[in-house]
Structure 1
Amino acid sequence: MERQKKTALVACVVSLMLAATGCSSASSQAEQVGDGSGEATLSFMTSEPKSIVPQKDPGSQIGMALCANLMEVNSETQKLEPLAAKSVTSDDAQVWDIELQDGWTFHDGTPVTAQSFADAWNATATGSNAWQGNGTFVSFEGYDKMNPLDGGKAKASELSGVKVVDDTHMEVTLKAPNRDFPAILSTNPTCPMPQSAFDDETGYDQAPVSNGPYKFDSWEHNQQVVMEKWDGFKGAEGFSGGAEKLIGKIYTSVDPAYTDMTAGNLDMIRNVPATMVDKASSQLGEEALYKVAIGSKQQTLQVPAYVDELTSPALRQAISMSIDREAIATSLLKGHAEPSDSLVPPSLESYVPGSCEACTFDPKEAKEILADDGGFEGTLTIESNSNSDQQLVQAIAKQIQDNLGIKVQMKPMLGTELSERRNNQKLEGAAFGLWGWSYMSPDQYLSQYETGGDGNLATGYSNPEVDKLLRAARAEMDDGKSTELFKHAEAKIIKDLPAIPLFIPTDYGLQSKCAVLNDVQGDLQYYRAGYGC
């Protein structure tokens, strides 16, 4: 691709075209009774939200339903396409021109303008606000002045790289070229916000107004969040779903949600634990299982650089080699996962088979490596989300303890607490977690190992050579050359093992008779589900 030519938005992004995945209804399940209103209602499993504002909880399925980004992946074409934007273009991948669609409004009827995006981005990028979406703006010019690394007072309140030209035009300047910028504009932290969000922040937190296919109706804390289809949404069908009403039912773990589904009182569950898949197939029927077509997720042990007793790469290598991934994948996970041997999943072009040599099970060598490193006298703590995968974490902990001969302690907690501890560098040990992409790019995995990168707070890893390679990979518009640079970056990171690759889970969702799940480049999104009754 020639640099001097005006680069069209989709051409700048590494995209993978997928065939639309069909799914049948679960005939063995009880007839879904809905909410008794006669509307086409679908319900889904969620936990009690820390926030339902998209910028404050970027991974929220509720936030995804409420928000329409400038760019989005169309579930029918599996391509990144303009949504609230009319075009996103650049000559050099560093300065980007954005033109908005005409006539878009928020759910309250107020217009969506370029200023609506700029105001939301500035608020999210303000470090003192402590919104989880903050890291999305790391690459924007001016971010550093709003987020001083020394923890001092911010020197700016707005991103200098964001300029509003008029109501439908804006210009964004990045600190360095980034080929993935149009894809970044498909993520929740880049949603717009109306003026009402800043006039009454407390009220807005409880009843947000956005511009997406569903609008907020009610939030009964620890019970449910209700959203209704918004007639004013101007996006195509590939950006929305078929339900007239969406109900996020709140559970503390997947087990009671599964019980409700077997009783016909719940329509959708995503990220189904591998230990539950066979049971669900038997009890609900194979039609209830939805297998995501492309693997976008990876389970890892993230090891913080700020925990003194875990800083040794040799210790991390020994821990990794003490885990029999193949045995766990075959027995406990019933074949619904495969061992991971890289910091990126096999579905990406930059994947190099076997790049993690320390991911090979060898307990004898692991003990020798640990002994040569001076041993380990303390207790390895593994922090994890108590709502999921506890059997898996227990199996991993037992193998490390038995095969390496060190003490291992599990520390389960609510997902919101684990997220807060990771984001504020309060971890006391390794953290077990599931990592996936917001858009399809190796940068979504490797940028968390860049100094100051998005997600870097979890490990605090820093390597100047890695930083240089990642910046070069983003700036390279030739797909092949960019892929090679990402490969070189991963090769350097894997030597230090700031995160230990564990498994690539086969991703399943559960759907009732009335729910027709759709995936978007490897991610199940409840609000995209069709209504099948």
Structure 2
Amino acid sequence: MSTSEEKTMKRNMLHRLVAMAAAGTMLMSVAACGSSSDDNAATSNSSDTSLISVNNSEPQNGLIPSDTNEMGGGKVIRYLFEGLVSFDAKGRQHLEVAESITPNEDATKYTIKLKKGWKFTNGEAVTAHSFADTWSFAANVKNAQKTSSRFSTIKGYDELQDPNVDPKATLSGLSTPDDYTLVVELNKPDSVFPTKLAHQSMFPLPSVAFKDIKKFGQAPIGNGPYKFKSWSHDKNIIIVPNKDYKGSRKVSNNGIEYRVYTNEDSAYSDVLSGNLDVMDQIPQSAVKTFRQDSSVIAYSQAGSSFQSFVIPERLEHFGNDEEGQLRRQAISMAINRDQIVKKVYNNTKTPATDFTSPLVPEYVKKLEKNGDNLKYNASKAKELWKKANAIKPWSGNFRIAYNADGGHKEWVDAVCNQIKNTLDIDAAGEPYATFSDVRNQVTNRTIKTAFRAGWMLDYPSAEDYLNPLYASSSADGHGSNDGDYKSAEFDKLLNAALAQTDVKKRTEDFTKAQEVLAKDLPVIPLWNDNVAAASATNVKNVSFDYTNLPTYNTITK
């Protein structure tokens, strides 16, 4: 066909993809905060019984969307703010602040029209400038935002990574022809961009936020279905309905109390006694009994949370070389995931077969190339370890760091025992008291061992696992690539997938990219967490979305 015909077909296909998303038929029905998951729990707190009480952990930072990549803060932020689009519990996309999202023919430019009438809870109008200013702030290296790499495909991002850049410098790829039009120019094609707009880093901030961002994070002003009321550190965060909210997520309760727990069993005891309304993750001690316990309402369904442990390349014996690759593959093959899921978790997890989850359309049940590296094979593991020893004899020990307040000891001990018994090395867990303790070490790159990692889906696309966790642009503190993995081969395949407007071809490229990961193993995939939750018996209308979390706005009692 002619070049003009081909361009027309590509443009029409991309328009159809965006239209499908807006109509709520994009992707598949699945049940968002892509972040390092913290499943810790905690101390009982008495409070206003008219609120829906839910378990949480103390946020690592202030409640700033672009500086939050963990669940303690993410659970709250998702309900204080609203972005251009959102996804409901069935994976259907809704236009929120956006009125329309129009791509050009090759997915390198998007024109976004905004709805009028949206306001922040301080009365300030939400405009195109709100988004442009927030995105530039988040992308600018001087502001040290943890999710800055989410903006790496927008023109001007690389310039904002210069250590000498002006703190007020902006993304050159953003323009605002008028108050309600945002034009986004990308530095490479990205057909998934309309889906990525649901990520919390893309939420708008009011102008007051930039005057003192740390102060703002302690009492945020948003445009979401709820508004901030109070934060008693290490105790609770309370949010109440925002009567001026204009989006699709209607509120059915008087507010949410996020209670901070430091022990999962304490939280579950509160659910059993009716002192906590909803717990989103059952503790290890109750996984075999919670479904039959008449004192609670149990919830169980397929989930999207991806669990693994990271082996940084900076560790001795695990560099980006032949020895490191052999040892990673040997360790992965030494782990009997099926056995741990059955005996430790009573089948409330699903053994990982790729680097995503069954809730995204690009999920792969078996990677054709290198997929065997994710399967238990003790004899092969010993063989690979022996080959690595021939390159350089093993020395020292192998440790997996984890937060002791999150119910990880059982699986860490099981994994380390399997590694120890198969490879005949000293392998054990290394506990840290709290989630914040271990995350701060990971963030600062001061941790000297392997460490557990969890990721929960922000939007139903494989891109949300692959880009923030493994792209080179997400390394070195710019995203959630905590092991600082860098692979030109992986980046090339990932970019090829993002440039594809054809869903089938995009999936094929995502799969090829995953096969590179299965060879290099920057993380050792373990399993996907299924929803395994409970509520008090007087609680109603509890449903779970693709993040494995309840839709808090629908819960009643």
TM-score (norm 2): 0.86
By how many angstroms is 1:69 displaced?
A: 0.9
CA deviation digits over 1:84-122, x for unaligned, max 9?
A: 111111022111111111111001111111111112112
Are positions 1:131 and 2:150 aligned together? no
By how many angstroms is 1:406 displaced?
A: 1.0
Query: Could you tell which deviates more after superposition, 86-95 or 502-511?
Result: 502-511
Are positions 1:99 and 2:126 aligned together? no
Contact (CA 8 Å) 1:10, 1:81: kept in 2 or not?
no
- Hey, what does 1:27 align to over in structure 2? none
Count of aligned residue pairs for this structure pair: 510
From 495, 507, 510, the counterpart of 1:483: 507
- The verdict on how the C-alpha distance between 1:85 and 1:346 changes in structure 2, with shifts beyond 3 A counting, is same
Q: What secondary structure is seen at the aligned counterpart in 1 of 2:68?
A: coil
- Hey, what does 1:462 align to over in structure 2? 486
By how many angstroms is 1:443 displaced?
A: 1.4
By how many angstroms is 1:219 displaced?
A: 0.8
Query: Could you tell which deviates more after superposition, 338-347 or 4-13?
Result: 4-13
Contact (CA 8 Å) 1:423, 1:457: kept in 2 or not?
no
- Amino acid across the alignment from 1:2: M
Are positions 1:381 and 2:399 aligned together? yes
- Hey, what does 1:444 align to over in structure 2? 464
- Hey, what does 1:358 align to over in structure 2? 373
Contact (CA 8 Å) 1:70, 1:186: kept in 2 or not?
yes
From 516, 521, 530, the counterpart of 2:555: 530
Are positions 1:308 and 2:316 aligned together? yes
CA–CA distance in structure 2, aligned partners of residues 424 and 10 of structure 1:
42
Contact (CA 8 Å) 1:473, 1:483: kept in 2 or not?
yes
CA–CA distance in structure 1, aligned partners of residues 92 and 269 of structure 2:
36
- Amino acid across the alignment from 1:136: R
- Amino acid across the alignment from 1:137: F
The Cα RMSD (Å) is 2.4
CA–CA distance in structure 1, aligned partners of residues 285 and 440 of structure 2:
27
- Amino acid across the alignment from 2:304: S
CA–CA distance in structure 1, aligned partners of residues 117 and 75 of structure 2:
26
Aligned counterparts, 1:104-503, within 5 A: 104-148=118-162, 152-154=163-165, 157-236=169-248, 239-273=249-283, 275-285=285-295, 288-292=297-301, 294-311=302-319, 312-355=324-367, 356-374=371-389, 375-388=393-406, 389-413=408-432, 414-447=434-467, 448-453=469-474, 455=479, 457-503=481-527
Q: What secondary structure is seen at the aligned counterpart in 2 of 1:52?
A: coil
- Hey, what does 2:11 align to over in structure 1? 4
- Amino acid across the alignment from 2:446: K
- The verdict on how the C-alpha distance between 1:36 and 1:127 changes in structure 2, with shifts beyond 3 A counting, is closer
Query: Could you tell which deviates more after superposition, 152-161 or 479-488?
Result: 152-161
CA–CA distance in structure 2, aligned partners of residues 159 and 323 of structure 1:
45
CA–CA distance in structure 1, aligned partners of residues 517 and 254 of structure 2:
47
Contact (CA 8 Å) 1:275, 1:332: kept in 2 or not?
no
CA deviation digits over 1:316-367, x for unaligned, max 9?
A: 1111111111211111111222322222223434333332212222223322
Unaligned runs of 5+ residues in structure 1 are: 21-32
Contact (CA 8 Å) 1:108, 1:209: kept in 2 or not?
yes
Are positions 1:18 and 2:29 aligned together? yes
- Hey, what does 1:24 align to over in structure 2? none
By how many angstroms is 1:80 displaced?
A: 0.9
From 81, 101, 104, the counterpart of 1:88: 101
CA–CA distance in structure 2, aligned partners of residues 169 and 67 of structure 1:
20
CA deviation digits over 1:285-309, x for unaligned, max 9?
A: 5x611224x4312211222122232
Contact (CA 8 Å) 1:96, 1:171: kept in 2 or not?
yes
By how many angstroms is 1:67 displaced?
A: 0.5
By how many angstroms is 1:193 displaced?
A: 0.8
CA–CA distance in structure 2, aligned partners of residues 395 and 19 of structure 1:
31
Q: What secondary structure is seen at the aligned counterpart in 2 of 1:381?
A: strand
CA–CA distance in structure 1, aligned partners of residues 504 and 456 of structure 2:
23
Q: What secondary structure is seen at the aligned counterpart in 2 of 1:192?
A: coil
By how many angstroms is 1:274 displaced?
A: 5.4
By how many angstroms is 1:249 displaced?
A: 0.7
CA–CA distance in structure 1, aligned partners of residues 540 and 289 of structure 2:
20
Contact (CA 8 Å) 2:146, 2:479: kept in 1 or not?
no
Q: What secondary structure is seen at the aligned counterpart in 2 of 1:97?
A: strand
Contact (CA 8 Å) 1:44, 1:526: kept in 2 or not?
no
- The verdict on how the C-alpha distance between 1:196 and 1:223 changes in structure 2, with shifts beyond 3 A counting, is same
CA–CA distance in structure 2, aligned partners of residues 435 and 160 of structure 1:
31
Contact (CA 8 Å) 1:10, 1:182: kept in 2 or not?
no
By how many angstroms is 1:437 displaced?
A: 1.8
- Amino acid across the alignment from 2:372: E
CA–CA distance in structure 2, aligned partners of residues 446 and 56 of structure 1:
20
Q: What secondary structure is seen at the aligned counterpart in 2 of 1:296?
A: strand
Query: Could you tell which deviates more after superposition, 345-354 or 205-214?
Result: 345-354
Query: Could you tell which deviates more after superposition, 261-270 or 368-377?
Result: 368-377
CA–CA distance in structure 1, aligned partners of residues 479 and 388 of structure 2:
29
Q: What secondary structure is seen at the aligned counterpart in 1 of 2:447?
A: coil
Contact (CA 8 Å) 1:48, 1:221: kept in 2 or not?
yes
- Amino acid across the alignment from 1:132: K
- Hey, what does 1:79 align to over in structure 2? 92
By how many angstroms is 1:248 displaced?
A: 0.7
By how many angstroms is 1:224 displaced?
A: 0.8
Identity of aligned residues (%): 28
- The verdict on how the C-alpha distance between 1:88 and 1:136 changes in structure 2, with shifts beyond 3 A counting, is same
By how many angstroms is 1:382 displaced?
A: 0.7
- Hey, what does 1:508 align to over in structure 2? 532
CA–CA distance in structure 2, aligned partners of residues 196 and 234 of structure 1:
21
Q: What secondary structure is seen at the aligned counterpart in 1 of 2:170?
A: coil
- The verdict on how the C-alpha distance between 1:203 and 1:189 changes in structure 2, with shifts beyond 3 A counting, is same
CA–CA distance in structure 2, aligned partners of residues 306 and 411 of structure 1:
18
- Amino acid across the alignment from 2:396: G
By how many angstroms is 1:391 displaced?
A: 1.2
Contact (CA 8 Å) 1:384, 1:432: kept in 2 or not?
yes
- Hey, what does 1:30 align to over in structure 2? none
Contact (CA 8 Å) 2:80, 2:222: kept in 1 or not?
yes
Contact (CA 8 Å) 1:517, 1:524: kept in 2 or not?
no
Contact (CA 8 Å) 1:88, 1:96: kept in 2 or not?
yes
CA–CA distance in structure 2, aligned partners of residues 15 and 426 of structure 1:
41
